[in-house]
Amino acid sequence: MVDSSEHTTKDRQFAVEIAPLLFDLGKPRPTTRQFADLVKAAGADAALSDALRRADAARYQEVRCRSALNHVKGMPFEWSLNPYRGCTHGCHYCYARRYQTQFELGSGDEFASIIFVKTNLVDVLRRELDRPSWKGDQVVIGAATDCYQPIEGHYKLTRGSLEAFLEFRNSVGLITKGPMIVRDKDVLADLTRGPGCSVYISVPTVDEDAWQALEPGTAPPVQRLRAVRELVDAGIRAGVLMNPIVPGITSKPAMLERTVKTIADHGARFIGCNVMFLEGGTRDHFMRWLAQEFPHMVEGYQQLYASKYAPASYRKEVQDVLTLLRKKYGVSGRNEDDAEDATSVTREAVQQMLDWKRKEKGPT
């Protein structure tokens, strides 16, 4: 009889259910739920013993997904698809950081250094799109973590998903910071001419200091905007989300104006924006980062973010200023039919813009 104390950490990996095989085809990939259970039982290092390392510092854990399409709440869309979990872009404000805790992992460095790859995603997606119960609702790709982060160049799960949506005549939206998207402009153009496609490139600011501080693993903003120009020239409805506006860091009036002007110069079809919100693990990580990089802002942030969102009055002020800037540089709002884009620039918004230019201290 073997004493239980002799069981090693490696032994506990058998907590992951393994289906019997007629031939030895290698250890099957765990589901995301099984992986989370293993991390809880044995720790991340044991769970990641089979993770792949590539040229960067991240570890890539291949997993199986049981479903591809996710029904979401609290978003301006109902269905999402995410080929990857975790993101090497490592943006400090990313709201998806809090989701890493679902895998018993931290929302800090582990969000950017442990990436889950859903290797069976395209096959599962095709089965779901083929179900009689599927009504063909628009699906947004990359809403949680970036679908064109560098590892997409190897796995091509995003491209495979786009090809499946085209085959099943299903409209899509796509959110990314990755210039790699231009690789797939052929499929995106076919989707645009067919069931429908909108591309949202995230460029919160063109200021290089702010970019390098907030988005350490991303391509330069102007490189992303060149991708916007290439997509628009290919006939694709592509625009920019200035998400998020980070108070005191990317909210400075001159910086906002320079960003909107540069976006307009690159031919974006629309601009959208939201002020950053902080919740759960994202809040914990961001405030630790802020204390290290901008300690003089911590007290102001604690007041501004007494709850998940900045005050409604502050958010409205930002939206009014961005509306003014969009009109000045001739770019539509996120909804091209949005009447606000043409009519809601008021004297009050102009005055707020002037007031902002006088502010120099604290989160503005």
Mutual angle of helices 185-193 and 157-167, in 10-degree steps: 20
Rounded to whole angstroms, the Cα distance separating 193 from 177 reads: 24
Domain ranges of the chain: 26-358
Rounded to whole angstroms, the Cα distance separating 170 from 167 reads: 8
Query: Would you give the distance in Å from CA 127 to the centre of its chain?
Result: 25
DSSP 8-class letter at 142? S
Rounded to whole angstroms, the Cα distance separating 120 from 128 reads: 13
Q: b/e map of 83-101 (b: 16 or more CB within 10 Å)?
A: bbbbbbbbbbbbbbbbbbb
Tokens of 315: 């958010």
Sign of CA dihedral 284, 289, 292, 296: negative
Per DSSP, helices labelled H in 77-120 are 109-113
The closest alpha carbon to 234, from 271, 197, 207, 263, belongs to 197
Tokens of 236: 């694709």
* DSSP string for 223-241: HHHHHHHHHHHTT-EEEEE
CATH 3.30.70.270 fits 26-358, yes or no: no
The three-class DSSP label of residue 80 is: strand
The pLDDT value given to residue 154:
94
Please name the helix (run of DSSP H) or strand (run of DSSP E) that holds residue 199, with its range, or none. strand 197-202
Name residue, tokens 């809601």.
344
pTM of the predicted model over 0.85: no
Mutual angle of helices 253-265 and 347-358, in 10-degree steps: 120
The pLDDT value given to residue 174:
96
Tokens of 120: 């069976």
Mean pLDDT by 10 residues, the chain (364 residues): 43 36 47 57 51 63 91 86 91 79 53 86 98 96 93 96 98 97 98 97 97 95 98 98 96 95 98 93 92 96 96 94 95 65 43 50 51
